[in-house]
């Protein structure tokens, strides 16, 4: 009898271990946005990711060697920098707020203008932008080719000297590896109903059913990736948004809708960092925004109690997922 009881206890322990392992595996393997698909011209490899990681954190990519890609995209802030405008070379400031680049591999277009087609092309922009890194590409490539580690990696991975092809493909491969899809919300949707509190679930209902939030921020990506005018300003001043690409007056004030994933960490908000808190963002939309001629008609006034505003905020914070940080400690 004792032996039989011992057997049952052992069997129960094994079953529990297998169940917990399965739960852990399911949570860790959550990818509600699907797999990142690399372009055929730049298939992802671990060697490319590692070379891209080194380049991403290397200040030698800037003219005065004070700024790297990571200066504006810090891992601990979901690869944003929590500044209104970022610091460039020679004390300059960028024109726009630095967005998170987590889950960048899913972007159909890059930058606030929703115009650049690939991460590979985007890499070149901040490097050559005068207020950001201010590097002439030929000078940069000559400098980096003389770094033995980079030149040897280029030969080994790409079978060529370090050049613009190596630079852009490697950094893009690294950026595609930055995945954040294991938030408490993701776990809740995957079946763990204890992952969100009652108030957080109430906030999700407000977000997804009672208000118009999902018109521009649908799950699981929490963005449509489209350029929109959200009534932030009546006068957009020097930065007219997507207008600067095509000179179409219908594009004035239109900026790509950002993902709300990790929004807890990416303040201040909007393309110009002009809104400092989630509560203020909610108040902006609750007011219906400014009546700019290009404002998206979806944006209308609504009324929430202070408790509902808090519930909406609590829900948005369930989209935080810093599991990616294990790579950067």
Task: Tell me if residue 280 falls in helix, strand or coil.
Answer: helix
**Cα separation, 63 vs 71, whole angstroms:** 14
Which pLDDT score is estimated for 141?
98
Which pLDDT score is estimated for 30?
74
Question: pLDDT tens for residues 97-125?
Answer: 999 999 999 999 999 999 999 999 999 99
Local structure of residue 329 (DSSP, 8 states): -
Identify whether the C-beta of residue 212 lies closer than 8 Å to the C-beta of residue 300.
Answer: yes
CB atoms within 10 A of CB 172: 26
**Cα separation, 262 vs 77, whole angstroms:** 9
Which pLDDT score is estimated for 29?
57
**Cα separation, 202 vs 328, whole angstroms:** 34
3-state helix, strand, coil in the chain (%, to 5): 45, 5, 50
β pairing state of 255-256 and 227-228: antiparallel
Which residue ranges in the chain fall short of pLDDT 70?
1-29
For 233, 241, 252, 272, the CA distances from 237, given in Å and listed in that order, are 9, 10, 10, 11
Which pLDDT score is estimated for 10?
37
**Cα separation, 201 vs 206, whole angstroms:** 9
- Structural domains in the chain, CATH included, are 46-176 (1.10.760.10), 184-327 (1.10.760.10)
Question: pLDDT tens for residues 122-177?
Answer: 999 999 999 999 999 999 999 999 999 999 999 999 999 999 999 999 999 999 99
For 19, 30, 79, 307, the CA distances from 22, given in Å and listed in that order, are 5, 12, 31, 37
Q: Minimal CA–CA distance to 154: which of 56, 41, 48?
A: 48
Residues in the chain, total:
329
CB atoms within 10 A of CB 116: 17
**Cα separation, 277 vs 283, whole angstroms:** 10
Which pLDDT score is estimated for 65?
98
């Amino acid at each position: 009898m004792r032996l039989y009881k011992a057997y049952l206890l052992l069997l129960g322990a094994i079953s529990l271990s297998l169940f917990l392992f399965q739960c852990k595996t399911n949570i860790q393997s959550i990818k509600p946005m699907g797999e990142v698909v690399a372009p055929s011209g730049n298939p992802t490899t671990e060697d490319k990711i590692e070379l891209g990681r080194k380049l991403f954190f290397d200040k030698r990519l800037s003219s005065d060697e004070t700024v790297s890609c990571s200066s504006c995209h810090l891992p601990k802030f979901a690869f944003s920098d929590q500044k209104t405008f970022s610091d460039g070379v020679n004390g300059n400031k960028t024109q726009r707020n630095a967005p998170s680049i987590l889950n960048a591999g899913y972007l159909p277009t890059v930058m606030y203008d929703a115009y650049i087609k690939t991460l590979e092309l985007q890499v070149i922009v901040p490097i050559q932008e005068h207020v950001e890194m201010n590097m002439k590409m030929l000078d940069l490539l000559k400098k980096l080719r003389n770094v033995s580690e980079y030149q040897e990696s280029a030969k080994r991975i790409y079978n060529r000297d370090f050049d613009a092809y190596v630079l852009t493909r490697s950094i893009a491969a690294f950026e595609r590896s930055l995945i954040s899809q294991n938030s408490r919300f993701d776990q809740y949707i995957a079946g763990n109903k204890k992952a969100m509190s009652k108030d957080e679930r109430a906030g999700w209902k407000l977000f997804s059913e009672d208000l118009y939030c999902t018109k521009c921020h649908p799950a699981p990506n929490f963005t449509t990736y489209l350029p929109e005018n959200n009534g932030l300003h009546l006068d957009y001043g020097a930065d007219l948004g997507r207008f600067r690409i095509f000179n179409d007056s219908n594009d004035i004030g239109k900026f790509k809708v950002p993902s709300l994933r990790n929004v807890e960490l990416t303040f201040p908000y909007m393309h110009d960092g002009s809104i400092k808190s989630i509560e203020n963002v909610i108040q902006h939309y609750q007011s219906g925004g400014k009546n700019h001629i290009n404002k998206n008609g979806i944006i209308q006034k609504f009324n929430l109690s202070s408790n509902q505003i808090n519930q909406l905020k609590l829900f948005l914070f369930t989209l935080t997922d810093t599991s990616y940080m294990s790579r950067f400690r």
